[in-house]
């Protein structure tokens, strides 16, 4: 082992990785390596559209949250006119952190070091000793907070550090069709049910993105208790049914698991279902009707899951939606942000039930969440071992699958649901960014 010299240049490793993905191989090293982490910061997070916040987290003028793109801390705030801005959380005078809270409401931010004051949209408005100290040489308009591009889709606010990157719409590239399955839950859309759970985990962010891009393969094993005790309406013999859909060249992917006996729109209240059908297109209604579980990732680090969870074993239970963001904080280490999304127009009773189901299954101490992290931290730990430098993993399921011509949605849809097609597309996009060719 260890045949590859440590001196192999990172660029050569990235090229080799790109070639390997085409033939269904991906290196373990990618999941825990300082040089790979640094390259991701430099080439990937500086160019991709990254999720910042849901609009319902900052509904009123002055509301703000602090979030990250890569290692950059940002203040995401709604100004007095209702516009949303994202600015680097750093004072332009000497670089102090401007906002030390993770959420709140403020019309202005005043630096705790020398007192420069900015509007929540980022303009510099107050400078102590302006006349006596700067003697007219400082122009306030030149020293606002460093602004980041923002755009949104159906309440999801994204930011991008690259002024030259294509617009969000093009970046999503048709994945909006699938995002709607999580977001158009009635005429009012969805809202967050409280602030996100967030915690640090010794897990590489990419393992989570991959898992949520449609890893139906792990469910009957890692979460087998859910099958056996009746909390999750699927079984080992039917679990592979459904589609894996990817957006070629974009990296986004979703797994749409069917359930032979699962009723269309099961797990949602009837009055809400009527509204959902109005909000979705006929093609989306067709896909939704056949979907039990939808688990998808927006490249690079945002994921969604819609899943039924039975509080009474054996029953269909309630379908909930979780949204999660994987913020990388080091090689093999990340901060997980996890939200529960609920339909704005749903009854309080349904919202409460959905949140309860989310908390039991996918909150920080949720049963499914624990199963996943037990595995993900071990994968990350293994990926950091010296001998693993040379080890690849197989990504060869569905290598020759032709797209399903009957499938009504955009992208590349293949059956069965248990498939590696989405992951080859994900890693190929990731490698394009690392090669500087995205
Ligand atoms: S560092 Fe903020 S005012 Fe000096
Ligand atoms: Fe899982």
- Render pLDDT for 104-143 as a digit per residue (tens, 0 to 9): 999 999 999 999 999 999 999 999 999 999 999 999 999 9
Amino acid 158: pLDDT: 99
Q: pLDDT for 273-310, tens place per residue?
A: 999 999 999 999 999 999 999 999 999 999 999 999 98
pTM for the model: 0.96
**What distance in angstroms lies between residue 134's CA and the mean position of ligand 2's atoms?**
58
Q: pLDDT for 26-40, tens place per residue?
A: 999 999 999 999 999
Q: Which regions of 155-301 does DSSP assign to beta strands (E)? A: 156-160, 190-192, 197-201, 242-246, 253-257, 293-298
**What distance in angstroms lies between residue 7's CA and the mean position of ligand 1's atoms?**
43
Please provide the average confidence, as pLDDT, over all residues in the chain.
95
Q: For residue 7, is pLDDT > 70?
A: no
Nearest ligand 1 atom, CA 116: 3
Nearest ligand 1 atom, CA 114: 3
Q: For residue 234, is pLDDT > 90?
A: no
What percent of the chain has pLDDT above 70?
A: 98
Q: For residue 3, is pLDDT > 50?
A: no
Amino acid 371: pLDDT: 96
Instruction: Find, among 200, 204, 219, the residue nearest to 382 by Cα.
Output: 204
pLDDT category at 1 given cuts 50, 70, 90 is very low
DSSP 167: P
Average pLDDT, integer, range 375-404: 96
- For residue 57, give every residue at least 6 positions away whose Cβ sits within 8 Å of its Cβ, in sequence order, or none: 63, 65, 103, 192, 195
For residue 105, CA distances in Å to 63, 64, 67, 113, 284 come to 4, 6, 15, 21, 37
Ligand 1 neighbours (beta carbon < 6 A): 91, 93-94, 96, 111, 113-116
C-alpha gyration radius of the chain: 23
SS3 244: strand
Nearest residue CA, atom 1 of ligand 1? Answer: 94
Mutate to test the pocket of ligand 1, among 111, 128, 130 (most ligand atoms within 8 A of CB): 111
Give the integer Cα–Cα distance in Å for 42 and 39. Answer: 5
**What distance in angstroms lies between residue 77's CA and the mean position of ligand 1's atoms?**
20
**What distance in angstroms lies between residue 136's CA and the mean position of ligand 1's atoms?**
18
Give the integer Cα–Cα distance in Å for 242 and 232. Answer: 16
Q: For residue 18, is pLDDT > 90?
A: yes
The tokens for 172 are 């999503």
For residue 404, CA distances in Å to 253, 255, 257, 280, 385 come to 15, 14, 15, 22, 40
The tokens for 296 are 């998808």
Mutate to test the pocket of ligand 1, among 92, 96, 146 (most ligand atoms within 8 A of CB): 96
Q: Are 103 and 195 in contact (CB under 8 A)?
A: yes
Within the chain, how many helices (H) and strands (E) appear? 13, 21
Q: For residue 2, is pLDDT > 60?
A: no
pLDDT category at 89 given cuts 50, 70, 90 is very high
DSSP 105: E
Evaluate the CA torsion angle 60, 65, 70, 72 in order and state its sign: positive
Q: Are 69 and 161 in contact (CB under 8 A)?
A: yes
Nearest residue CA, atom 4 of ligand 1? Answer: 114
Q: Are 242 and 219 in contact (CB under 8 A)?
A: no
**What distance in angstroms lies between residue 372's CA and the mean position of ligand 2's atoms?**
5
Nearest residue CA, atom 3 of ligand 1? Answer: 114
Question: Residue 142: exposed, middle, or buried by beta-carbon count in 10 A (0-12, 13-18, 19+)?
Answer: exposed
Give the integer Cα–Cα distance in Å for 389 and 387. Answer: 5
The tokens for 265 are 């729109």
Nearest ligand 1 atom, CA 91: 2
The tokens for 271 are 């009055």
Amino acid 334: pLDDT: 98
Nearest ligand 1 atom, CA 94: 1
CB-CB neighbours of 374 under 10 Å: 10
Give residue 29's Cα distance to chain centre: 22
**What distance in angstroms lies between residue 368's CA and the mean position of ligand 2's atoms?**
6
pLDDT category at 227 given cuts 50, 70, 90 is confident
Amino acid 42: pLDDT: 97
- For residue 121, give every residue at least 6 positions away whose Cβ sits within 8 Å of its Cβ, in sequence order, or none: 77, 79, 83, 85, 87
| Beta-bridge partners for 158 | 51, 151
Instruction: Find, among 275, 316, 258, 265, the residue nearest to 185 by Cα.
Output: 275
Q: Are 122 and 87 in contact (CB under 8 A)?
A: yes
Pairing of strands 392-394, 25-27: antiparallel
Q: pLDDT for 180-224, tens place per residue?
A: 999 999 999 999 999 999 999 999 999 999 999 999 999 999 999
Nearest ligand 1 atom, CA 95: 1
**What distance in angstroms lies between residue 12's CA and the mean position of ligand 2's atoms?**
33
Nearest ligand 1 atom, CA 115: 3
Of 297 and 234, which is predicted with more confidence? 297
Residue located via tokens 């099961």: 266
């Amino acid at each position: 082992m260890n045949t590859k010299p440590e001196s192999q240049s990172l660029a050569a490793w990235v090229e080799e990785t790109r070639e390997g993905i085409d033939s269904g191989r991906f290196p373990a090293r990618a999941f825990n390596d300082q040089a790979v982490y640094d390259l991701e910061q430099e080439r990937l997070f500086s160019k991709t559209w990254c999720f910042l916040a849901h609009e319902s987290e900052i509904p009123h003028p002055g509301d703000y949250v602090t979030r990250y793109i890569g290692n950059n801390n940002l203040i995401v705030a709604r100004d007095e006119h209702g516009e949303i801005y994202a600015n680097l959380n750093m004072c332009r005078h000497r670089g102090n952190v401007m906002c030390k809270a993770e959420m709140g409401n403020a019309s202005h931010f005043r630096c705790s070091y020398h007192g420069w004051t900015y509007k929540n949209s980022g303009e510099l408005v107050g400078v102590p000793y302006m006349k006596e100290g700067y003697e007219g040489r400082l122009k306030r308009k030149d020293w606002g907070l460093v602004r980041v591009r923002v755009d949104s889709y159906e309440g999801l606010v994204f930011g991008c550090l690259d002024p030259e990157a294509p617009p969000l719409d093009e970046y999503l590239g048709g994945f909006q069709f699938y995002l709607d399955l999580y977001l158009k839950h009635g005429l009012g859309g969805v809202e967050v049910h409280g602030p996100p759970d967030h915690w640090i985990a010794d897990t590489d962010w990419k393992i989570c993105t991959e898992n949520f891009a449609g890893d139906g393969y792990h469910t009957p094993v890692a979460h087998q208790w859910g099958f056996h005790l009746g909390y999750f309406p699927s079984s080992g013999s039917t679990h592979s049914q459904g589609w894996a859909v990817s957006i070629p060249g974009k990296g986004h992917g979703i797994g749409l698991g069917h359930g032979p006996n699962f009723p269309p729109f099961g797990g949602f209240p009837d009055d809400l279902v009527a509204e959902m059908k109005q909000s979705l297109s006929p093609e989306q209604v067709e896909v939704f009707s056949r979907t039990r579980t939808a688990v998808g990732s927006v490249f690079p680090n945002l994921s969604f899951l819609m899943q039924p969870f039975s509080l009474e074993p054996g029953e269909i239970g309630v379908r909930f939606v979780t949204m999660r963001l994987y913020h990388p904080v080091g090689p093999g280490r990340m901060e997980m942000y996890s939200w529960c999304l609920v339909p704005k127009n749903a009854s309080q009773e349904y919202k409460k039930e959905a949140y309860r189901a989310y908390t039991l299954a996918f909150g920080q101490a949720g049963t499914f969440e624990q199963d996943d992290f037990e595995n993900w931290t071990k994968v990350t730990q293994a990926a950091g071992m010296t001998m693993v430098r040379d080890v690849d993993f197989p990504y060869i399921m569905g290598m020759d699958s032709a797209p399903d011509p009957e499938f009504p949605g955009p992208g590349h849809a293949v059956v069965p649901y248990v498939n590696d097609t989405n992951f080859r597309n994900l890693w190929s996009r990731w490698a394009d960014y690392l090669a500087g060719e995205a």
